[in-house]
Structure 1
Amino acid sequence: MAPRTRRHGAAPGARGGSRRRRLPLRLLLPVLVLVALMAMLMLRGYVHSEILADHRVQPPAATDQVPQKILEGGPVIDTRAGRTESMSVPDHKLVLTFDDGPDPVWTPKVLDVLKEHHAHAVFFVTGTMASRYPDLVQRMVDEGHEVGLHTFNHPDLSYQSTSRIDWELSQNQLALTGAAGIRTSLFRPPYSSFADAMDNKSWPVTEYIGSRGYLTVVNNTDSEDWKRPGADEIIRRATPHGGKGAIVLMHDSGGDRHQTVQALDRFLPGLQEQGYEFDNLSEALDLPSAHSEVTGAGLWKAKAWVFLVQASEKVTDALVVGLAVIGTLVIGRFALMLLLSFAHARKVRRRNFAWGPPVTRPVSVLVPAYNEAKCIENTVRSLMASDHPVEIIVVDDGSTDGTARIVEAMGLPGVRVIRQLNAGKPAALNRGLANASHDIVVMMDGDTVFEPSTVRELVQPFGDPKVGAVAGNAKVGNKDSLIGAWQHIEYVMGFNLDRRMYDVLGCMPTIPGAVGAFRRSALARIGGMSDDTLAEDTDVTMALHRDGWKVVYAEDARAWTEAPETVQQLWSQRYRWSYGTMQAIWKHRRAVVDRGPSGRFGRVGLPFVSLFMVVAPLLAPLIDIFLLYGIVFGPTEKTIGAWLGVLVLQAVCAAYAFRLDRERMTHLISLPLQQILYRQLMYVVLLQSWITALTGGRLRWQKLRRTGAVEAPGGIPTQRQRVMNEQQEPVR
């Protein structure tokens, strides 16, 4: 994975060309992937009779339009070329017919029994099953059996238009050709019975079928094996009387057919001993073969169809596995977050809890700034209001909007401004580290404001000498818009609840750039801030873990940051985050083999980050794809119920996270819409990051436009302040 990046000061002239190059990756490829997945899912639904299926059965109608010789004739009806004839099977000949297959379980067993007893049969296959199991159709042909059409989706053709009938026949032939390279002239209507059951609704269909060149085959001996009455009863019903010939109806699909197989194994030798022959229909009636070979473009078209169906089966099977994986990950993550977040809150909110001796010594606050003229004054003034002694160092990274001049003009004591040519955020932070006066260093973004207690709360964990870094509680300040509200939910639930869980597990993956603190000695041991990735905060956190330092979460160290307010800005930010996280994971991939205490991150943290921050978001859209499919084509009630169940689980986690952070629950109103729309945006961003990573592409720094409207709200006491207030209350 290429870690090379461009700084946020890229030449303006390159911007237009870069956007033109990125457009296909950002929009076209993700859309094509989604369209391809949906197409595969639709194709699978089509060949599983979930789409365009019609299972209505026409009730019996009058028979006055049906020729009498058809009603009184045999089970083979020929209406080709204007004829109106019927044929019967000669005495001592039986034509076994099997409907609705091929079935991957029962058809091979039926074929095995037929082969064992040297018998032939006719298999009336549906297009859906032939498309899915082409090898069984090929076996039928190879072993000398005849194959007939039974429509594609098994509808009652009495309800269908002639165009739908043509479509059912052509699709059925397409599947048959793709499976075995042949066409057939035999056809059996779904839900058909004896010839005398022909009525005014089915007869016009039979005439039309004949005009298309097909011989209609019904039956005159029904085994009724679909009722599963037992092998003895199936044999009794399938046996003709007085040595007469017959076309026997059986089934090799549509359910459990073990009784059919058992009956067949006894039926065949029993009637062969009585002088019966089991032939194909063409053999029994002394007709030309029903099969004709297909060559040329027609064959390749049919082969392509079968290939696509097989591909859709495999792809959708993989999607189902992916859905199971994402479902397990989502539920497991939520359960783990709830359990471990509760444990974290219970630990740090005890009255006697302390990281160690109180940290009261001054700290250095580093503020890297690039074109933050609209925000920098609020940022610096919020630091000046800190109730902990601070040294403020603003590192102007080549700003062109007068950021440095604004800070200098404020004339505040204890505030230093360092100017440098544009070199990127990691370089600005390292420059600040080199000029910091204190051992504990707080880092924040130039668009962020701190509460007065933030620095004090952030540095208290350094009372534990094993702590090398502390993550603060980053919060969205501009949460009144819909996009801001979605990010507010994400920050409170997806980031801070995660950090509580990772704190307990001892594998915090990221110190947020908006609010984090470090020991200078710890940073010195790992070489400072690295510019190898676009997620320098994740990179440095992983490096600290691997060096053996503890990284913890301070829930009361609140920082208010300005989240992106447009989809474009949000896209740019999350694209950088996602790509940078992948770079950091790849850079520290050898952590999985680290030994000793430092190996805990590799054994636990890195797999968790990979699963929950890379794999799970990439698979998350499967929930919505199957939701859409299930609503339109599947069991709608069950689908909606399952989706609502997941949403309720998310809402419970979100409500608990909001309660822990003492946030108003009203913002959760937008949670359902966030799950439908926001997740898709994050999916496309992550997919683009994957494409960039796999192709070794370069990604320039994305500078977001700020408004400077975020201020730190007052009146929210920290946990420590609440305990002190309770202790100062008079006893009543």
Structure 2
Amino acid sequence: MLLLRGYVHSEFLADHRVRPPASIDNVPEEILSGGPVLDARGEKPISHRVPDHTLVLTFDDGPDPEWTPKVLDKLREHDAHGVFFVTGTMASRYPDLVRRMVQEGHEVGLHTFNHPDLSYQSTSRIDWELSQNQLALQGAAGVRTSLFRPPYSSTADALDDESWPVTQYIAKRGYITTFIDTDTEDWQRPGVGEIMRRATPKKDGDGAIVLMHDSGGDRSQTVAALDKWLPEMAGKGYKFANLTEALKAPSAHTPVSGFERWKGKSWVLAVGVSENAMSFLVVALAIVGVLVFSRFGLMLLLSAIHARKVRKRDFVWGRFPVTEPVSVLVPAYNERECIANTVRSLAASDHPVEVIVIDDGSTDGTADIVEALRLPNVRVVRQANAGKPAALNNGVRHATCELIVMMDGDTVFEPTTVRELVQPFADPSVGAVAGNAKVGNRDSLIGAWQHIEYVMGFNLDRRMYDILRCMPTIPGAVGAFRRTALWRVGGMSDDTLAEDTDVTMALHRDGWRVVYAENARAWTEAPESVQQLWSQRYRWSYGTMQAIWKHRRAVVERGASGRFGRVGLPFVSLFMVFAPLLAPLIDVFLVYGLVFGPSAKTALAWAGVLAIQGVCAAYAFRLDHERMRHLVSLPLQQILYRQLMYVVLLQSWITALTGGRLRWQKLRRTGAVEAAPTSGREKAGAL
């Protein structure tokens, strides 16, 4: 719809060049000295003049929604007719005005579709200008016309060696070319009196074709001049007629029907839809802008509050630090490339842990690899393949500790991760803790983009949600739970494809606090191909929608569930499901503005949005003690990577609305993340 609108608004193919006068060697003398109406359709060109005491009023460049109705009103008031040379772009956009012209007895002529100087154009472009102009006329008024006026033309004696061949070619296409006798130059707004003087024939009683404009700017002087000039000239014995009426020729209009009529009506209908679509999209863009900037503002403000709270030296979760042993659950399905690195990182933990690897029916020897390591406090629980939620629940049943840490089989922990992750449990109201998941394989372009997304889109968000007390997701790569809280909500559910989001929402509804531990860092292997990334994000996106729908009743419930339903669910739905669906409008309007203009302002506006995103990203990187060098790829991420995420979300919406089923898809792992850095700062060679 935007492309059609740009096409109709004469921006895409607009050509504003005007050729300077050329020689007249090849223009017949009888044409130069002849009348303003040129019929060159036959073997010999014929010129015609308007009879005495007859004025043919012609109006170029319309119709205009403001000035054309006023011109038509004045003509009707003074019982005058005229010829309107309409452009295809304006006739397509305002078909009702063209229809009114014909119904009120005026003639309509073609003035091309895009108003270019035809002497610069090829014959194919000329054909297109004429056919598109006729198509708009057919759709608007149901007629074709044989009258034509070239843009930037004037009197017949202004024809030259560049414009004469064009005039001949157009005549072969069946058109009568209409030039002028007098030019009011009303587009210069010289004043009402001057317009009237220029419109009047120099010799009293002479007939003339008068040029005026009903579009292209402020035409108030033209309307005022008509109101005075028409009765004045009528008092001198002049009549105001259509061109064919003045020449006593057949009407220039030919009714169209059948396919040609419906083709024109379809065109006009499509243009009307595109005009309305533009209005709708502008409103939608404004809504998106408010949402995007509100989200950025909230993230920056609340993340700053969260960071200040964490930095307070006297801030502690409870009277004493948490030192009790922790059960770490590692669900694994065909993780032979990663599992050894994962288990070794847990064995190096500075907090007492028991490690339980739940082998979910692996066929690649994952369990054998773990057992072969012979690490203390590490054991394997084997089960038939039943899915990740079942594996985690099985692990909880085998755990001996009250505090449960869950991680993925492709993730490695820092030595301090478990200790940092469980400290919030010193507060008895805390039921679960989200850790800081970081991309380990960030050297590729896709990895770098995901790194930016994790630091900015996930972890900065988690700081915001932590302050708002509506954390939507405990990441599967690094999260901790109280066993008591977990069993109270029924454990890990397989009702959705996002079991981590599902259980987090269930904990909120049960009254537990869910908090964020930014120093509990886990290094995970992100997808390294577009196909794997698509599969992962599709599952995440669709699973989040499932979880929101599953817990929708919280909106009308009381207590903790009601608070989450009326605060958390709207936030999550707005910022994670609905706003991203509209966000592509920013990029759509970027393309539209660059193609159809104003290009400079469009690029500047988009750069402003990118700059704000850059500020948020830089702040998030600073909070996470990350190097800024990866932000170099942020503009490219916005252009390419973000579009992929939009399409993934759209596909998730389609799947949800059509009731489709999405199965769990296992991602191929490479074992690229071998160990975690020993501090929060990225170190060269650590991965």
TM-score, normalising length from structure 2?
0.93
Map 1:398-437 → 2, pairs under 5 A: 398-437=361-400
SS at 2:108 equivalent: strand
Q: Which moved more, 1:63-72 or 1:42-51?
A: 63-72
**Contact conserved, 1:507 with 1:600, CA < 8 A, in 2?**
no
Q: Take 1:352 and 1:311, find their aligned partners in 2: how far apart are those partners?
A: 62
Cα offset for 1:675? 2.0
| Structure 2 counterpart of 1:342, one-letter code | A
2:222 to 256, 260, 280: 260
Matching residue of 1:7: none
| Structure 1 counterpart of 2:273, one-letter code | A
Cα offset for 1:712? 3.6
SS at 2:316 equivalent: coil
Matching residue of 1:237: 198
Cα offset for 1:154? 0.4
| Structure 1 counterpart of 2:652, one-letter code | S
Map 1:321-340 → 2, pairs under 5 A: 321-340=283-302
1:105 to 66, 73, 77: 66
| Structure 2 counterpart of 1:402, one-letter code | G
Matching residue of 2:522: 559
Q: Which moved more, 1:587-596 or 1:448-457?
A: 587-596
Q: Deviations over 1:378-417 (max 9, x none)?
A: 2222222222222322222222222223333434443343
2:101 to 140, 155, 161: 140
Map 1:13-412 → 2, pairs under 5 A: 40-240=1-201, 242-357=204-319, 358-412=321-375
| Structure 1 counterpart of 2:199, one-letter code | A
| Structure 2 counterpart of 1:347, one-letter code | K
| Structure 2 counterpart of 1:199, one-letter code | D
| Structure 1 counterpart of 2:211, one-letter code | L
**Contact conserved, 2:118 with 2:166, CA < 8 A, in 1?**
yes
Cα offset for 1:503? 1.4
Cα offset for 1:661? 0.7
**Contact conserved, 1:100 with 1:124, CA < 8 A, in 2?**
yes
Pair 1:94–1:550, CA change in 2 (3 A): farther
**Contact conserved, 1:371 with 1:400, CA < 8 A, in 2?**
yes
Q: Take 2:434 and 2:17, find their aligned partners in 1: how far apart are those partners?
A: 63
| Structure 2 counterpart of 1:382, one-letter code | S
Q: Deviations over 1:279-316 (max 9, x none)?
A: 22122221111000112222233233323333333444
SS at 1:437 equivalent: coil
Q: Which moved more, 1:677-686 or 1:576-585?
A: 677-686
Q: Which moved more, 1:643-652 or 1:593-602?
A: 593-602
**Contact conserved, 1:533 with 1:580, CA < 8 A, in 2?**
yes
Q: Which moved more, 1:403-412 or 1:568-577?
A: 403-412
Q: Take 1:594 and 1:253, find their aligned partners in 2: how far apart are those partners?
A: 60
Q: Take 1:489 and 1:424, find their aligned partners in 2: how far apart are those partners?
A: 30
Cα offset for 1:620? 3.9
Q: Deviations over 1:207-234 (max 9, x none)?
A: 2222221111122222222112333433
| CA RMSD of superposed structures (Å) | 2.3
| Structure 1 counterpart of 2:187, one-letter code | W
Pair 1:716–1:118, CA change in 2 (3 A): same
SS at 1:82 equivalent: coil
Q: Deviations over 1:455-492 (max 9, x none)?
A: 11111122223222211100111112222111111111
Matching residue of 2:684: none
**Contact conserved, 1:560 with 1:711, CA < 8 A, in 2?**
no
Question: Is 1:705 aligned to residue 671 of structure 2?
Answer: no
| Structure 1 counterpart of 2:310, one-letter code | V
* 5+ residue gaps, structure 1: 1-39, 719-732
Q: Take 1:530 and 1:244, find their aligned partners in 2: how far apart are those partners?
A: 93
Q: Take 1:267 and 1:467, find their aligned partners in 2: how far apart are those partners?
A: 85
Q: Which moved more, 1:471-480 or 1:460-469?
A: 460-469
Question: Identity of counterpart residues, as a percentage?
Answer: 78
Matching residue of 1:458: 421
Map 1:620-635 → 2, pairs under 5 A: 620-635=583-598
Matching residue of 1:476: 439
SS at 1:81 equivalent: coil
**Contact conserved, 1:146 with 1:290, CA < 8 A, in 2?**
yes
Q: Take 2:383 and 2:23, find their aligned partners in 1: how far apart are those partners?
A: 95
Question: Is 1:685 aligned to residue 648 of structure 2?
Answer: yes
Q: Take 2:617 and 2:477, find their aligned partners in 1: how far apart are those partners?
A: 22
**Contact conserved, 2:413 with 2:676, CA < 8 A, in 1?**
no
Cα offset for 1:101? 1.2
Q: Which moved more, 1:55-64 or 1:195-204?
A: 195-204
Q: Which moved more, 1:363-372 or 1:328-337?
A: 328-337
Question: Is 1:661 aligned to residue 647 of structure 2?
Answer: no
Q: Deviations over 1:340-372 (max 9, x none)?
A: 211211111111112223222223222222122
Q: Take 1:188 and 1:717, find their aligned partners in 2: how far apart are those partners?
A: 73
SS at 1:248 equivalent: strand
Cα offset for 1:633? 4.4
Matching residue of 2:506: 543
SS at 2:470 equivalent: coil
SS at 1:189 equivalent: coil
Q: Deviations over 1:50-94 (max 9, x none)?
A: 122211111112234333333333322221212322222223332
Q: Take 2:346 and 2:193, find their aligned partners in 1: how far apart are those partners?
A: 91
SS at 2:42 equivalent: helix
Q: Deviations over 1:195-253 (max 9, x none)?
A: 23222222222222222211111222222221123334333333345243322222121
Q: Take 1:603 and 1:112, find their aligned partners in 2: how far apart are those partners?
A: 57
TM-score, normalising length from structure 1?
0.88
- Aligned residue pairs total 679
Cα offset for 1:419? 2.3
* 5+ residue gaps, structure 2: 682-687
Q: Take 1:556 and 1:575, find their aligned partners in 2: how far apart are those partners?
A: 28
**Contact conserved, 1:82 with 1:211, CA < 8 A, in 2?**
no
Q: Take 1:271 and 1:600, find their aligned partners in 2: how far apart are those partners?
A: 78
Pair 1:251–1:604, CA change in 2 (3 A): farther
Pair 1:350–1:135, CA change in 2 (3 A): same
| Structure 2 counterpart of 1:519, one-letter code | R
Cα offset for 1:46? 1.8
Matching residue of 1:31: none
Q: Take 2:116 and 2:632, find their aligned partners in 1: how far apart are those partners?
A: 45
Matching residue of 1:27: none
Q: Take 1:706 and 1:221, find their aligned partners in 2: how far apart are those partners?
A: 80
Q: Take 1:590 and 1:272, find their aligned partners in 2: how far apart are those partners?
A: 77
**Contact conserved, 1:559 with 1:712, CA < 8 A, in 2?**
no
Matching residue of 1:17: none
**Contact conserved, 1:192 with 1:218, CA < 8 A, in 2?**
yes
Q: Which moved more, 1:368-377 or 1:566-575?
A: 368-377
Cα offset for 1:333? 2.4
Q: Take 2:541 and 2:467, find their aligned partners in 1: how far apart are those partners?
A: 24
